[in-house]
Amino acid sequence: MNLYIQQPFLLLFISVVLFSCSSSPSEKRKQERTVSDDQLDSIALIYDPKKSDPRYEDFVMRLHKRSGFNGNVLVAKKGKIIYQKAIGWADHLHRDSLKINSVFELASVSKPFTSVAVMMLVEDGKLRLDQDVREFYPEFPYEGITIRMLLSHRSGMMNYVYFVDDLWKSQKKDERPGISNQDVMGLIAEHKPKPYMKPDRKFHYNNSNYMVLAAIIEKVTGQRYSQFMAENVFRPAGLKNTAVFSKAEYEKIPTDVVGHDRTWRRSVAQNFLDGPVGDKGIYSTVHDLFLFDRAMRSGRLLKKSSLDSMYAPRNETQRGHFNYGYGWRLFENEQHKVVYHTGWWHGFRHIYLRQLDEDIVVILLSNLTNGSLLKLDEIYNLAGMPVVRRSAYSGSGQTASDDD
């Protein structure tokens, strides 16, 4: 082959190499997903109920009948689903039954997704953990709050949910239209609500931290949080039934699973507080949460160093085992490490656990906010996971009473 014929191929090769070298990590993540990835995910979601340990079914049925659990359950080990179940009503008023692919509002289980998005932008060089919020929002009324503090709940901010709710009620505003993160940032700048404490003094779990992080994501990327998450997190991870739904973007959020408050007598209506996202607002399924775990473990979303940083304890240990990293609650003892998050919002209550050392995933999503998720010791024991319940341990970290 002569040089004239070779040259176009040479130029094409050089351009591909230069493009791959100059592409940001986020662009590479978008490009790298292949048909084989979808095939592997489909294989991972195969479940044969005949091979399931009947003790899981027995436990879930008792949790449903005795403790009022209503929702979806998934347990996986070593990348394989060993138990799954949808039990109860998606909407009690219309007697619609839950299905295994029913989409739930994740409530605070959205926070790990937001932390992944922030760490992506850190890897891309678009954010630094020690940047001050005022670099993005000069009118922000609190000094010295960094992205790192927001991620680890050390900002000392007030909770915007209570502040905005009180403001709406005092001004008798229409509670149906949703407000956006940018709206809330404007209200904070205007009214300057008093913070709980000075920044970085101590851990104080607070929805404001992740609402502000989502607002920063929007400011840095020039995209809505919903769009950025879809393009950079959900699609690269293969999550086909996961999306951000905000009342600021939808008059009625398009989901069939309705949240119910403690009993079936009252379903929880969506209102203006279903507008802000990042602290909540992601809707997903037990299958997609399992695939999210697989994407994290495979390095499809973040480098190992970023994951290790997220899973590192950032606060004082509570009851000998419990802590909080960047977007993940932590349980650690001498043998095991579990990263997890709970969620509770407008009729939804969840727990999502990932045991890192043994590759175990336990997920319970519920649309009835009772105390059933406090009675999970048996499923943890069946899965070979430590009991992740604070009252199960004394302040020194020793095993306490088995009573709930």
Q: Is residue 339 part of a domain?
A: yes
The residue with tokens 């505003």 is: 173
Q: Is residue 46 part of a domain?
A: yes
Q: Is residue 18 part of a domain?
A: no
Please state the pTM of the whole predicted model.
Answer: 0.92
Residue 181's CB is within 10 A of a number of other CB atoms, namely 28
Q: Where are the beta strands (DSSP E) in 16-175?
A: 71-77, 80-87, 89-91, 96-97, 104-105
Give the integer Cα–Cα distance in Å for 53 and 82: 8
pLDDT of the residue at 94:
87
For CA atoms 73, 77, 78, 81, give the dihedral sign.
negative
Q: Which of 122, 133, 77, 75 is nearest to 327 (CA)?
A: 122
Q: Is residue 6 part of a domain?
A: no
Contact partners, residue 345, CB within 8 Å, separation at least 6 = 105, 107, 108, 259, 280
* Burial state string for 127-149 with b = 16 or more CB within 10 A and e = fewer than 16: bebeebbeebbeebbbeebbbbb
Q: Is residue 368 part of a domain?
A: yes
CA angle 46, 108, 386 (to 5 degrees): 60
pLDDT of the residue at 308:
98
The residue with tokens 């999970």 is: 376
Q: Is residue 374 part of a domain?
A: yes
For CA atoms 136, 139, 142, 143, give the dihedral sign.
positive
What Cα–Cα distance (Å) separates residue 50 from each residue in 41, 53, 54, 57, 82? 21, 8, 9, 11, 10
Q: Which two tokens stand for residue 66?
A: 């005795």
Residue 178's CB is within 10 A of a number of other CB atoms, namely 23
pLDDT tens-place values along the chain, 404 residues long? 444 434 544 444 444 444 444 566 667 766 677 778 888 899 999 999 999 999 999 999 999 999 999 999 999 999 999 999 999 999 998 899 999 999 999 999 999 999 999 999 999 999 999 999 999 999 999 999 999 999 999 999 999 999 999 999 999 899 899 999 999 999 999 999 999 999 999 999 999 999 999 999 999 999 999 999 999 999 999 999 999 999 999 999 999 999 998 766 668 889 999 999 999 999 999 999 999 999 999 999 999 999 999 999 999 999 999 999 999 999 999 999 999 999 999 999 999 999 999 999 999 999 999 999 999 999 999 999 999 999 999 988 888 754 43
Q: Is residue 14 part of a domain?
A: no
* Domain encompassing residue 119: 36-392
| CATH value at residue 243 | 3.40.710.10
Q: Is residue 13 part of a domain?
A: no
Q: How many domains does the chain have?
A: 1
